[in-house]
Amino acid sequence: MSFPTNFLWGGASAANQYEGGYNEGGKGLACADLISGGSHTTSRQITKTVKEDLLYPSHEATDFYHHYKEDIALFAEAGFKAFRLSINWSRIFPTGMDQAPNEEGLQFYDNVFDECKKYGIEPVVTIAHFDVPAYLSEHYDGWSSREVIDFYTHYAATIFDRYQDKVKYWITFNEINTATLTIGNFLSLGLQVGEATFIDQPDDPQRRYQALHHQFVASAKVVKLAREKYPQFHMGCMISYMPRYPYTCHPNDVLLAKQEENMHSKFCGDVQVTGKYPYYAKSYFEQQGIEIKFAEGDAEILAEGTVDYYTFSYYLTLCVSADPEVEKNGHSMIGGSGVNNPYLEQTEWNAMIDPVGLRITLNDIYDRYQLPMMIVENGIGVSEDLTENGEVHDSYRIDYLQKHIAEMEKALADGVDLFGYTIWSAVDIVSASTGEMKKRYGLIFVDKYDDGTGSLNRYKKDSFYWYKQLIATNGESLLEK
Ligand code: BG6
C-alpha cells in the first residue's frame, strides 16, 4: 500500500449537526436552530422564533458541547490524525454583526483545540458549515446582501487571530456549490445562503447566484488576509462533488453530463482555485438571464484570494439522460433529475454507491488544478440499532469505506496528490438534509433518537475498530479484507 507517511486519517463533523448547546455560553441563534426535524418523507418547518411544540434537532444534536473531551478521547483511541469540525458563527458573534466577540464562545473552541493537541490530532476547521446567524438571515436576507461579506471577514479575522497557533488547516465554506442546487431549499437556501425566512418563496436563481458570488468574494478576502498575516495557514475550498455519468454513449447524453457536472461540481472550484469565473458559467448565466453584479474590485479580490488546497465531499455519482422519456422514468436522490445507474447499488436514502467514481473524481480534479487534495467527507447513512450488548455490527459501513479507501490508494498510485481523508462522520450526528438522527453515518453510535429522547451515551461500532486498525497500519490492513 502506498499511503504517504503523515497521511491525515480522521473523521468529520459540523457544528449545527453535532454541537448542541444552542443557547448556552452566550451563543446566538443560527438559521439551523429555527429548522425543525423531518424524516425520509416528511419535510421540515422553518419558524421565525423557537416554538415550544416543535423539535429542533440542532438544539441538542449529539451534544459535542458537553461531550467534547469524551469524544476527542475516542478519536484518539481510534488513532485519528485529524478531526474536521466547524466553528459555530453565532457562538462567536451571536447576531453575526456584533463588534466584540463572545469570549465564552472563543474559549469553548480553545478547549476543543487544546484537547486535540493533547492527542496530536490536527484540527481541520470549516469557518462556515451551513451556518448563518439567524439575525443576519432576518435582517439582511443572509448572503443575498453584500454587507454580510464584511461580517464574515470580521468573524474570520477574529478566529484567525485567536487560533493562529492552534489551527493550520482552514476551509472557508462547506460545500459552497450547494447554492447551485435548484432543489433542496433547506440546504441551498436555508442553511447555505441563510435565507431561512424566505424559504417559502419560489426559487430565484438570480438571488441564489448573487449570494454565491458574495461568498466567493468573502472566501477570497479571508484567504488573502491569511496569506498576508498567517503564512503558516493552509486555506482550502470545499466542494460537494457529484460526478455525472451519461446514461448512454449517445453524444447528447455525454454533453448533458458534462454540462451538469460543470455547473454543479466544477464551477465553484474553478472560481476558488483559478480566481475567475469560467467561460462556461458566463454563457450559462447569459442563457438563463442571470446577471452577477461585480462590485468594483471584486475581480481583483477573486484573483488574489485563490485557495492553496482543494477539499471535497464524495458520497455518490449521478447518471443523466438527454432523452426526456428515460429521465421521466428515472429517479435520483439529488437534483430532481437523473436516472438509476444499473451498475450500482443504492443506499437506503437512494444514494448510488460508487467507489470507482472516487478514483475518477480524484484524477479529474487533480488533472484540472494540480493542487494537494483532501477528502473531507465520505460515508454512508444507514438506520441502525444497538444490540443488547451495546454493539453495532455495521459490516455494510466497513464494506463501503473499505472499497472507497482502496480506490483512493489506486488514485495515489495514479499520481494524484491526496494528503488526507476524514470520514463522515466521526460520531452519529443529525442529518443536514432531513434533520433526522435515524440516518446515521458515525463510527461511534450515539444513543439519541428522532423524538429527542436518548441518554447521549456513546458506543463504538464495528467500523470504529476496523478504522482503528486501518489507521494503525496506514492502510496496509485493507489488504486483509
Ligand atoms: C454533506 C454535508 O452534504 O453531506 C454534511 O456537508 C451532511 O453537512 C452530509 O451531513 C450528509 O448529508 P445528510 O443530508 O445525509 O446529512
Distance from the alpha carbon of residue 404 to the mean position of ligand 1, in angstroms: 17
pLDDT for the residue numbered 182: 63
In a domain, 262, yes or no: no
In a domain, 13, yes or no: yes
In this structure, the residues whose C-beta lies within 6 A of any atom of ligand 1 are 14, 17, 130, 174-175, 240, 313, 377, 381, 424, 431-433, 439
Catalytic residue among 19, 115, 138, 175: 175
Q: Which residues pair with 68 in a beta bridge?
A: none
In a domain, 341, yes or no: no
Task: State the alpha helices, DSSP H only, in 201-354.
Answer: 205-229, 251-261, 267-274, 279-288, 298-304, 324-329
The pTM of this model reads: 0.95
SS3 assignment, position 344: coil
Asked if 441 and 422 touch (Cβ cutoff 8 Å), the reply is no
Give pLDDT tens digits for 268-283: 999 999 999 999 999 9
Best mutation site among 124, 176, 313, 376 for ligand 1 pocket (most ligand atoms within 8 Å of CB): 313
Task: Looking at the CA of residue 379, tell me the nearest atom of ligand 1.
Answer: 11
In a domain, 342, yes or no: no
The answer to whether the Cα torsion of 326, 331, 334, 337 is positive or negative is positive
Distance from the alpha carbon of residue 204 to the mean position of ligand 1, in angstroms: 23
Q: Whose CA is nearest to atom 9 of ligand 1?
A: 432
Q: How many CA atoms lie within 13 A of 196 on its CB side?
A: 26
In a domain, 379, yes or no: yes
pLDDT for the residue numbered 381: 95
pLDDT for the residue numbered 58: 95
Task: Looking at the CA of residue 439, tell me the nearest atom of ligand 1.
Answer: 15
Q: Does the active-site annotation cover 377?
A: yes
Q: pLDDT digit of tens for each residue in the chain (481 aa)?
A: 589 999 999 999 999 999 999 999 999 999 999 988 866 556 678 888 899 888 999 999 999 999 999 999 999 999 999 999 999 999 999 999 999 999 999 999 999 999 999 999 999 999 999 999 999 988 888 899 999 999 999 999 999 999 999 999 999 999 999 888 765 555 666 676 777 655 666 778 888 899 999 999 999 999 999 999 999 999 999 999 999 999 999 999 999 999 999 999 999 999 999 999 999 999 999 999 999 999 999 999 999 999 999 999 999 999 999 988 877 766 655 544 578 888 999 888 888 899 999 999 999 999 999 999 999 999 999 999 999 999 999 999 999 999 999 999 999 999 999 999 999 999 999 998 888 999 999 999 999 999 999 999 999 999 999 999 999 999 988 766 5
In a domain, 327, yes or no: no
Distance from the alpha carbon of residue 240 to the mean position of ligand 1, in angstroms: 9
Distance from the alpha carbon of residue 433 to the mean position of ligand 1, in angstroms: 6
pLDDT for the residue numbered 335: 47
Best mutation site among 374, 377, 382 for ligand 1 pocket (most ligand atoms within 8 Å of CB): 377
Q: How far, in Å, CA of 48 to CA of 368, rounded? A: 43
Number of domains in the chain: 1
Cell output for 398: 466497513
**Domain of 15?**
8-242+309-317+349-480
Cell output for 207: 438571488
Give how far the C-alpha of residue 232 lies from the chain's centroid of Cα atoms, to the nearest Å.
Answer: 24
pLDDT for the residue numbered 331: 61
In a domain, 253, yes or no: no
Q: DSSP of 46-94, one letter per residue?
A: B-SS--TTS--HHHHTT-HHHHHHHHHHHHHHHT-SEEEEE--HHHHSS
Q: What percentage of the chain's residues is helix, strand, coil (to nearest 5)?
A: 45, 15, 40
In a domain, 458, yes or no: yes
Q: Does the active-site annotation cover 296?
A: no
pLDDT for the residue numbered 45: 80
Give pLDDT tens digits for 176-192: 998 887 655 556 666 76
Q: What is the biggest distance separating any 2 CA atoms in the chain, rounded to whole angstroms?
A: 63
- CATH assignment at residue 433: 3.20.20.80
Q: How far, in Å, CA of 282 to CA of 287, rounded? A: 9
pLDDT for the residue numbered 97: 93
